[in-house]
Amino acid sequence: MSELTTIARPYAKAAFDFAVEANAVDAWLEMLVFAAEVANNDTMANYLSGGASVEQAQDLFLKVCGEQLNEKGQNLIKVMAENERLLVLPQVAQLYIELKAEYEKEITVDVTSAVEITAEQQTSLSAALEKRLARKVKLNCVVDDAVVSGLIIKAGDMVIDGSVRGKLDRLATTMQS
């Protein structure tokens, strides 16, 4: 998986840099997500990995994508086809999404709680996290009664476990050592 990410990174970076320059970040995101879905299709993946010539793979891919890709998007597909890299389009799209979030100073935060979080609580939590993380925060709230009470907040590599379940687990670990 990391090898595919390494292969995909220059394509994602080039597409993102071009999109920023052309002021078309969202349009490029749509194109890349669509192309990634085409590449993820089982039939297409089998065709691309089955020894089709570069020209055949390129032509089929562009025909399937049709009007979903503009001229510059088609050029990216042609370059990737020439380098036999069409199968890494899902990773290119994922890296592009990450670059876009970084560019827009935005982060998705997963919040797990035992009960539904009210809109007022979400607003307050979002404001506090925006201040701490210095980014726009998009909350992804999930209810899990195993938490018992409190919250588990995950933002990238950072995890804040303020749940009763987490405190009980830490207490049990302390008592066993």
Q: Could you list the residue range(s) of the whole structural domain that residue 6 is in?
A: 2-102
* Assigned token pair, 15: 């597409």
Summarised one tens digit per residue, pLDDT across range 90-100 is 999 999 998 98
Summarised one tens digit per residue, pLDDT across range 162-175 is 888 888 888 899 99
What is the domain count for the chain?
2
Summarised one tens digit per residue, pLDDT across range 109-155 is 999 998 999 999 999 999 999 998 888 888 999 999 888 888 999 98
**Boundary-marking domain end, from 67, 102, 137:** 102
Predicted TM-score (pTM) of the model is: 0.66
110 and 66 in a common domain: no
84 and 16 in a common domain: yes
83 and 24 in a common domain: yes
- What is the DSSP pairing of strand 106-113 with strand 136-143? parallel
Q: Is 7 helix (H, G, I), strand (E, B) or coil?
A: helix
**Boundary-marking domain end, from 59, 79, 102:** 102
